[in-house]
Amino acid sequence: MTIHDIQEEIVDEFSMFDDWMQRYEYIIELGKSLPLIEEQFKTDENIIKGCQSKVWVHAEEKQGKIWFTADSDAILTKGIIAILIRAFSGQEAKAILEANTDFIDAIGLKEHLSPTRANGLVSMIKQIKMYALAFETKNQ
Amino acid sequence: MLDLQKIRADFPILTQKVNGKPLVYFDNGATAQKPQVVLDAITKYYSEINANIHRGVHTLSQWATDAYEESRGKIQKHLNAKHAHEIIFTAGTTHGINAVANGFAALLQPGDEILVSAMEHHSNIVPWQMLCERTGAVLKVIPMNEKGELIRSEYEVLLSEKTKIVTVNHISNALGTINPVDYIIQKAHEVGAAVLIDGAQATPHLKPDVQALDCDFYVFSGHKVCGPTGTGILYGKEAWLNKLPPYQGGGEMIATVSFEKTTYADLPHKFEAGTPNIAGGIVLGTAIDYLNEIGFEAIAAYEHELLAYATQKLEQIEGLRIIGTAEHKTSVISFNVGNIHPYDIGTIVDKLGIAVRTGHHCAQPVMDFFGVPGTVRASFAFYNTKEEIDIFVEALQKAVMMLS
């Protein structure tokens, strides 16, 4: 599936919920199910410091595709990371670089990706794109 | 006794809805809401008086100057300062601390010591660290105990003739501890050190008497005492303010300027370079008047009631740990629940209309001391109510349920 298709699928899933509480409960569930980053990658080097919650992200390239694992000390942040990873992990660098995150707006979580929000997510997206750029440059 | 209904009606923002719920504003430690008289005073200034001060001969300029100086007089009276020219208008507490720290650069030798406390806001740490880098002075830290109280015996050991300035907050923003500043000042003076008191968190709750305290500097922010943002006060004893070189150069702070030599203006203008926040300075006086009309004794008594009520309610929540349990405390409750991240709690209760602060509160050393990444902080003002505390506790329980 392309990033776009996955994003559509996520938007569909979220459209089932009537109110913010159900959406947040689902995000918390997703946070709990996030495939955890291996401890060895939870280094200071891999940490993205938001003002309040810490975010770790690790990337690997396998057969031309980039795979991400991540973690956060805040569960809501973790839930949104799970959503982002679902959209971006296992994709090609070029597709990741071209993709946007507008779907977050469509699922009613826009405020979490606002650059002023102190949760580290904006920096995480930047980091995901940086990894993609690095792998793409390396392979050229 | 406070007339809560009347007081709440003074604050238009309190009738707002946030995320579809009535606003419960418990982030007063970050900034206080503004009463209608303050809002009106801002409009009045810009619609009737606006002119530059201390310069023009025209009538408007005279009005603006009079209003600005009248406000200075109000603040002098409020702090019980000896002279009006000991009251310097600043942009806020941070500005005031930086002005003093910068001035001390000229007075320090390598090896001199500066004492800060373990519970300072970054604003009362970083300017002094920068000063140490410039001068070779050494920063020493007065430790605190598990309750969030400064340890007196340790403080006395740290004091010596090397100590040049002691700089502590009157009330801790992260913990709510009311520090024994009279004792701190007295001990520091015994070794000849100057004392700066950061009153940012104290001035919303009490009326400091700078002469009785005998502090050398007292700084606070206008926006935390129901005044406009970008305003603040640096009080300094006349002798100290004369001794310190000016912080910024520019207009208003000069007596004469030539390309060979500039002489500085007298106090307070020496520390007020450039066109100040005239409206802000004037309206800060209005805000102080408003608080004095309600009365600080009544405010403190009522806020204490809110603190006791909220503490008792919150302690019933399983796994809740209050950070900062000093015997003398103001209406601030910092806490965590189990291992739930404060950010998660803050986000959920926000959805329920409640504004609390989460994070390290610009006091990372305090968080490190207690071994937490941050806390949730509810800070109450005189316009808050017990009903709001009930709403908050209920929302918190909901959040904890969702997040555990």
Q: Which one of B243, B271, B293 terminates a domain?
A: B293
Using a CB–CB cutoff of 8 Å, tell me whether A29 touches chain B: no
Q: Do B10 and B50 fall within a single domain?
A: no
Last residue of a domain, one of B247, B274, B293: B293
Assess whether pLDDT exceeds 90 at residue B207.
Answer: yes
Output the CA–CA distances (angstroms, integers) from residue B402 to A21, A102, B87, in the order listed: 9, 27, 50
pLDDT value for A118: 66
The residue type found at A73 is D
Kindly state whether residues B55 and B174 are assigned to the same domain: yes
B89 shares its domain with B237 = yes
Which tokens belong to A11? 């938007």
Do A24 and B402 lie within an 8 Å CB cutoff? Answer: yes
pLDDT at residue B220 tops 70: yes
The confidence score (pLDDT) of residue B169 equals: 98
What pLDDT does residue B63 have?
94
Task: Quote the CA–CA distance of B32 and B41 in Å, as a whole number.
Answer: 17
Give strand pairing partners of A72: A55
The pLDDT score that the predictor gives to residue B120 is: 97
CA atoms of B20 and B400, how far apart (whole Å): 21
User: Is there a cis peptide before residue A35, judged by omega within 30 degrees of 0?
Assistant: no
Contact yes or no for A118 and B359 at CB 8 A: yes
Is the pLDDT at B110 greater than 70? The verdict is yes
Determine the distance in angstroms separating the CA of A24 from the nearest CA of chain B, rounded to an integer: 8
CB B221 within 8 A of CB B198: no
Tell me the C-alpha distance between A3 and A9, whole Å: 10
Residue B390: give its domain's CATH number.
Answer: 3.90.1150.10
B284 shares a domain with B191:
yes
Question: Is A121:A56 a contact under the CB 8 Å cutoff?
Answer: no
Judge: B341–A24 Cβ closer than 8 Å, yes or no. Answer: no
> For chain A, which ranges sit under pLDDT 70?
49-51, 115-116, 118
The answer, for B358 touching chain A at a CB cutoff of 8 Å, is yes
Contact between A121 and A112 under an 8 Å Cβ cutoff? The reply is yes
Query: Does B152 share its domain with B228?
Result: yes
Contacts of A17 in chain B (CB under 8 A): none
Nearest-by-CA chain B residue for A54: B373
Q: Do B402 and A76 touch (CB under 8 A)?
A: no
Counting the structural domains of chain B, the total is 2
Rounded to an integer, what distance in angstroms lies between the CA atom of residue B194 and that of residue A90? 62
Quote the domain boundaries for residue B16.
Answer: 4-30+296-403
Tell me the pLDDT tens digit for each residue of B237-287.
999 999 999 988 888 788 888 888 888 889 999 999 899 999 999 999 999
Query: Which CATH number fits the domain that encloses residue A98?
Result: 3.90.1010.10
A21 touches chain B (CB under 8 A): yes
Helix (H) or strand (E) run with residue B368 in it: helix B364-370
Of A3-17, B80-94, B219-233, B296-310, the range with the lowest mean pLDDT is A3-17
Q: What percent of chain B has pLDDT over 90?
A: 91
Instruction: Give me the residue from B19, B341, B374 closest to A75, CB to CB.
Output: B341
A and B: number of Cβ contacts within 8 A: 42
Q: What is the pLDDT of residue A50?
A: 62
How would you write A58-121 as a 3-class SS string? EEEEECCEEEEEEEECCHHHHHHHHHHHHHHCCECHHHHHHCCCHHHHHCCCHHHHCCCCCCCH
Cβ-Cβ contacts under 8 Å, B374 against chain A: 52
Contacts of B340 in chain A (CB under 8 A): 75
- The alpha carbon of residue A118 is apart from the nearest alpha carbon of chain B, in Å, by 9
DSSP, residue by residue, B130-185: HHHHHH--EEEEE-B-TTS-B-HHHHHHH--TTEEEEEEESB-TTT-BB--HHHHH
Q: How many CA atoms lie within 13 A of B286 on its CB side?
A: 24
CA B315 to each of CA A25, B99, B311: distance values in angstroms, whole numbers, following the listed order: 26, 42, 6
Looking at B275, B293, B311, which one is the last position of a domain? Answer: B293
Residues B167 and B303 in one domain: no
A135 phi, psi to nearest 5 deg: -65, -40
pTM equals: 0.93
Q: Provide CB contacts within 8 A for B105, sequence distance 6+.
A: B131, B134, B135
My answer on whether B311 and B377 are in the same domain is yes
Closest among B281, B275, B274 to B45, alpha carbons compared: B281
Per the structure, the count of domains in chain A is 1
d(CA A76, CA B402): 11
Q: pLDDT value at position A51?
A: 61
As a three-state string, the secondary structure of B79-112 is HCCCCHHHEEEECCHHHHHHHHHHHHCCCCCCCC
Q: Would you state the pLDDT for residue B47? A: 97
Q: Do A52 and B359 count as a contact with CB atoms less than 8 A apart?
A: yes
- pLDDT tier, B293 (very low <50, low <70, confident <90, very high otherwise): very high
Helix (H, G, I), strand (E, B) or coil at B213: helix
Q: Quick check: B313 and B291 in contact, CB under 8 A?
A: no
- Residue range B360-396, pLDDT digits in tens: 888 899 999 999 989 999 999 999 999 999 999 999 9
3-state secondary structure B13-68: HHHCEECCEECEECECCCCCCCCHHHHHHHHHHHHHHCCCCCCCCCHHHHHHHHHH
Per-residue tokens: B143? 């430790």
The answer on B275 and B319 residing in a single domain is: no
Residues B247 and B320 grouped into a single domain:
no
Residues B276, B389, single domain; the answer is no
Which of the pair, B317 or B258, is modelled with greater confidence? Answer: B317
* CATH code of the domain covering residue B215: 3.40.640.10
Instruction: Give tens-digit pLDDT for B147-171.
Output: 999 999 999 999 999 999 999 999 9
State the number of CA atoms in the 13 A half-sphere of B38 facing the CB: 26
> Given an 8 Å threshold on Cβ–Cβ distance, is B343 in contact with A77?
yes
Return left, alpha or beta for B25; rule: phi > 0 is left, psi -120 to 50 is alpha, else beta. Answer: beta
